[in-house]
């Protein structure tokens, strides 16, 4: 976890030097919105496609996270989505639909 103010300062300093930055977020917190701007890239973690998964394993909810992913997509010139597989939780087709 990095303080948003620090991440913003570093990203701005990198931008001034022509270095691209990426903000990585799971989308469970509104805080990263402050870090994101049209000149910064975003990487969001998509855990699964079920509200059950987000409620039980991430202490969040799918609707909130998907709203934040859409925000990232609308603000960024680049949006990368990462899905890490968790054996027994989101590694089978059934886990994406239950």
Write out pLDDT tens, residues 19-74. Answer: 988 877 776 666 555 555 655 677 888 888 788 888 888 888 888 888 877 777 77
Mean pLDDT confidence for 85-97: 74
- This prediction has a pTM of 0.62
Residues 6+ apart with CB under 8 A from 54: 47, 48, 60, 61, 62, 65
pLDDT of amino acid 17? 95
pLDDT of amino acid 65? 80
pLDDT of amino acid 67? 81
């Amino acid at each position: 976890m990095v303080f948003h103010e620090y991440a913003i300062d570093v990203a701005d300093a990198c931008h001034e030097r022509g270095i691209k930055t990426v903000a990585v977020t799971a989308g469970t917190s509104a805080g990263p919105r402050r870090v994101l701007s049209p000149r910064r890239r975003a990487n969001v973690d998509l855990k699964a496609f079920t509200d059950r998964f987000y409620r039980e394993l991430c202490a969040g909810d799918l609707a909130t996270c998907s709203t934040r992913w859409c925000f990232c997509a609308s603000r960024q010139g680049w949006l990368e989505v990462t899905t890490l597989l968790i054996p027994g939780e989101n590694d089978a087709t059934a886990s994406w639909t239950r």
